[in-house]
Amino acid sequence: MTIDGLRYAVIGSGSSANSYIFDYKGYSFIVDNGFSCKQAIERAQQLGFDPDNVKYIFLTHSHDDHFRGIEVLSRKLKAPVVLHAELNLNRKIKKHFYRRKDIMPGCFYTEGDFRFRAFQTSHDADFSLSYHFQLGPAVFTIITDTGVVSIEMLELASQSDVLFLEANYNQRMLDDGPYPYFLKQRILSDHGHLSNTAALSFLNEVGQREDARLKEVYFCHLSDTNNSPEVLAEDIGRELKWKGSWVICRKGQMQPQL
């Protein structure tokens, strides 16, 4: 999607580190940062973004692959961290954020051309959530790290131009793979992750809605062990009926906008 003044990219995605960046006419923000502060800044610059323009860093949940580098990055960029008001991070924070901005899911927040709301996800992390936002004329939703999808997620994705959607595992690869039983059950649970089939079924539901405006999907958060871009592409070929542009985010690689 090309809109004057609008840019967005996946800084990195996968089991090890996840981060996204968005910019509209010099107003930038980052969602999650599982990279070191140095890596995140270098990657953003390589993608053509100016880290000094970052106004906020949004946190979905406290697992290290999303949280690891947020504290230092917040201080370095002097950017407040936006997170669930009830999330207690005292045991994880070594020093302090530059500032903390508490929010609650379901509420709308507005600043200039930027408007957002958070929504609850189903994951084994305290007060996990994700974000739906309008930046300039474009609307985005991020849905990752959730064991199930909800009607709210379906409605928000349908209202979006661009969706970042978890496709964490292929069922056969997980069943036949090396993970111990308890870890497989954690991934499969309602507080785990979305399979390729669950993600594609969700997209197909979006495509059936008459009001859907979705144009682009970025498949992200692929498991290192239980999925691969090639297997996901095969699953897409068999199961996806939604018509639109999509890209698979490979482990650790930067992914500029389509």
Decide if 73 is inside a domain: yes
Indicate whether 232 belongs to any domain: yes
Range of the domain at 134: 6-251
CATH for 207: 3.60.15.10
Predicted confidence (pLDDT) per residue in 44-93, tens digit: 999 999 999 999 999 999 999 999 999 999 999 999 999 999 999 998 99
Distance of CA 23 to the CA centre of its chain: 16
pLDDT-derived band at 94, boundaries 50, 70, 90? confident
Residue 151: exposed, middle, or buried by beta-carbon count in 10 A (0-12, 13-18, 19+)?
exposed
| Number of structural domains found in the chain | 1
Within-domain flag for 236: yes
- CB–CB of 201/239 below 8 Å? yes
SS3 65: helix
Q: What is the pLDDT of residues 102-139, one digit of tens each?
A: 999 999 999 988 999 999 999 999 999 999 999 999 99
Nearest to 174 by CA among 148, 201, 192: 192
